[in-house]
Chain A
Amino acid sequence: MTTPTPLLSVRGLTRDFGGIRAVDSFSFDVPEGSITGIIGPNGAGKTTVFNLITGVYRPTAGDILFKGEPIGGHRPDRIVRAGIARTFQNIRLFNRRSCLENVLTPLLQREKSNFFAALAGTPSARRTERSLREKAFDLLTSLGLDAFAPLQANTLPYGLQRKLEIARALATNPSLLLLDEPAAGMNPEETRSLARLIAEVREKFNVTILLIEHHMDLVMNICSPVIVINFGALLAEGTPDEVRANPDVVAAYLGKGRKGK
């Protein structure tokens, strides 16, 4: 049996901040088409890993291979164009812009446009803009946000802002989508509907998903494999059941029992 090359492969990833080693020779794979989950206690280095993959930070050491190509230390815009998009734990939308414009921004950056035609507002430039607006609207529709298209992004309720961030990330046409705590601040009902949405997005947009999450039920229901990180290093990886049964994981989350076995 041959295992296909993973979509994303992280090897020995390390990042220091001053004297603090936030990520410590961390290695893991994201299989193509999977919903891979990263879990770990607060401060374990999960978001730093996302920042390293998306080029917001440069790795101190280690390799990041995307579709077999090294991308570690590349500029964020190159990595986006290679096909990795992300959302943020603390939502970062273009607050003063409408929902539609938020999704339109990355669409416009992908388009080759004629500078002078755009400046003069020629019919062909307007046609291009109209078709991009339609595309943006379709993306909003597929996430159930079409009714909010003209509203200013920061007026949306929290849960919908998260969805809008996902829509904007999808507008960069990614093959790998990184979601940083997509269910943060959601109640159990909202979390369940988010789980359905994530599965739908994977099917519909044909993306592989890597997500960080604290809601264990979400991770255990939709993610496989699950990767556990603690103190910046890999603690365990495997199917949800394997991870749940791993004594190291239990210890990291709940502390070691007094009885000791």
Chain B
Amino acid sequence: MFLQTLITGLSIGGIYALMAVGYSLVFSVLNFSNFAHGAVIMLGAYVGLALATKLSLGFGLVLAGSIAGAGIIAVLNERLAYSSLRRRKAPSLYLMISAMGCAVFLENLVYATIGSRFYAFPEFFGRQIVTLGESSVSLLDVGAFVFALAAILGLHLFISRTRTGIAIRAGVSDMTMCSLMGVDLDRLISIVFLLAGGFAGVAGVFLGIKYLVYPTMGWVTNKAYIAAVIGGLGSLPGALAGGLILGVVETFVSVYISSVMRDVFSFTLLIAFLVLRPNGLLGRDSEEKV
């Protein structure tokens, strides 16, 4: 029972981490809270759903299509709603308000066109079970966890090794300076949104398979904000650690205490971290980001 709870927790935590990584990436480069991230996750899930039901594609292609779709949506979102604010060097509060507007707009767009129905993905993994010692866990849970880890490791390599990754790190530290090192900021920011959107697509597909696809499913991103705060806003290893910790803690609370208490507990954790340790577990000193 313990191991099973742990694996379920890690699997949910892996999905939280995928969401938190994309959210954190945008936050650390542009220094604003991209509330439209949840809507991109939701749209990614719909793209995956369409590929799975209308075209009957297999899991791998569904995932790839959803990554590409959500990535492009995120880039368009930036180009249409944020880029002109950014170029005019508007305060980040304006970007945040624009992001909230985008979230509500995209959700209602889905209501108006696709409708409010709840959809289920086809059963990709059936009810396949992996047996580990005494307990058995679903293949989906193990897969979600492993895939989340692999994707985040890939992102880490990208950020630390490639030319573009290093430019992203320079941009995190000082955008103007980064452009004066010869980096095209518009292109760089599009890449950041493409990455964040790609991660949102993965999260959307896993969420959709695990639960259901519906217009407000993106609100689960609230959990990604909590995960990002626990790990330290703007830190990638922090987003991973925060996501996993939150997923595991939540699952243990629902199993051993009560599932009604789950969200009460999560948001209490958020407030406790903001009060006691605002930089999170692995975050930088908040004074560095001015």
A binding-site residues for B, Cβ under 8 Å: 54-56, 75-78, 80-81, 85-86, 92, 94-97, 105-106, 108-111, 113, 115, 118-119, 121, 125, 168, 172
Q: How far is the CA of A121 from the CA of B181 in the complex (A)?
A: 24
Complex: chain B residue closest to A78, CB-CB: B184
Are the C-beta atoms of A81 and B180 separated by less than 8 Å? no
A contact residues around B142 at 8 Å (CB): none
B contact residues around A55 at 8 Å (CB): 179
Are the C-beta atoms of B177 and A94 separated by less than 8 Å? yes
User: Is B54 in the interface zone, CB < 8 Å from A?
Assistant: no
Q: Which listed segment binds A: B14-22, B34-42, B77-85, B157-165?
A: B157-165
A53 to chain B, nearest CB (A): 11
Q: How far is the CA of A54 from the CA of B177 in the complex (A)?
A: 11
B178 to chain A, nearest CB (A): 8
Are the C-beta atoms of B162 and A115 separated by less than 8 Å? yes
Complex: chain A residue closest to B181, CB-CB: A106
Q: How far is the CA of A76 from the CA of B170 in the complex (A)?
A: 15
- Known contacts A94-B174, A95-B173, A105-B170; A76/B179 CB under 8 A: yes
User: Is B182 in the interface zone, CB < 8 Å from A?
Assistant: yes
Q: How far is the CA of A31 from the CA of B177 in the complex (A)?
A: 26
Range class of the B interface residue count: 20 to 34
A contact residues around B246 at 8 Å (CB): none
B83 to chain A, nearest CB (A): 13
A contact residues around B173 at 8 Å (CB): 94-97
B contact residues around A108 at 8 Å (CB): 163, 166-167
Are the C-beta atoms of A92 and B174 separated by less than 8 Å? yes
Complex: chain A residue closest to B170, CB-CB: A105
B contact residues around A115 at 8 Å (CB): 162-164
Q: How far is the CA of A19 from the CA of B161 in the complex (A)?
A: 46
Q: Which of B158, B161, B174, B185 contacts A77 (CB 8 A)?
A: B185
18 new A-B contacts at CB < 8 Å, known A56-B180, A106-B181, A109-B181: A75-B184, A76-B180, A76-B185, A77-B181, A77-B185, A78-B184, A80-B181, A81-B182, A94-B174, A97-B173, A105-B170, A106-B182, A109-B182, A111-B163, A115-B164, A118-B161, A121-B161, A172-B182
Instruction: Tell me which residues from 132 to 191 in chain B have a Cβ below 8 Å from any Cβ of chain A.
Output: 157-158, 161-164, 166-167, 170, 173-174, 176-177, 179-186
B contact residues around A96 at 8 Å (CB): 173, 284, 288
Q: How far is the CA of A115 from the CA of B162 in the complex (A)?
A: 6
Are the C-beta atoms of B161 and A109 separated by less than 8 Å? no
A contact residues around B176 at 8 Å (CB): 56, 76, 92
Q: Which of B161, B170, B182 contacts A110 (CB 8 A)?
A: B182
B236 to chain A, nearest CB (A): 15
Q: How far is the CA of A97 from the CA of B172 in the complex (A)?
A: 12
Q: How far is the CA of A104 from the CA of B28 in the complex (A)?
A: 21
Q: Which of B162, B177, B180, B185 contacts A118 (CB 8 A)?
A: B162
A212 to chain B, nearest CB (A): 16
Are the C-beta atoms of A105 and B174 separated by less than 8 Å? no
List 5 tightest A-B contacts by C-beta distance, closest first: A76-B179, A106-B181, A80-B182, A118-B162, A109-B182
Are the C-beta atoms of A109 and B180 separated by less than 8 Å? no
27 A–B contact pairs at CB < 8 A? A54-B180, A56-B180, A76-B176, A77-B180, A77-B183, A78-B184, A80-B179, A80-B180, A85-B180, A92-B174, A92-B177, A96-B173, A96-B288, A97-B173, A105-B170, A105-B181, A106-B181, A109-B166, A109-B167, A109-B183, A113-B162, A113-B163, A115-B164, A118-B163, A119-B162, A121-B161, A172-B180
B287 to chain A, nearest CB (A): 11
A contact residues around B167 at 8 Å (CB): 105, 108-109
Are the C-beta atoms of A109 and B163 separated by less than 8 Å? yes
Are the C-beta atoms of B181 and A172 separated by less than 8 Å? yes
B contact residues around A97 at 8 Å (CB): 173
Q: How far is the CA of A35 from the CA of B28 in the complex (A)?
A: 39
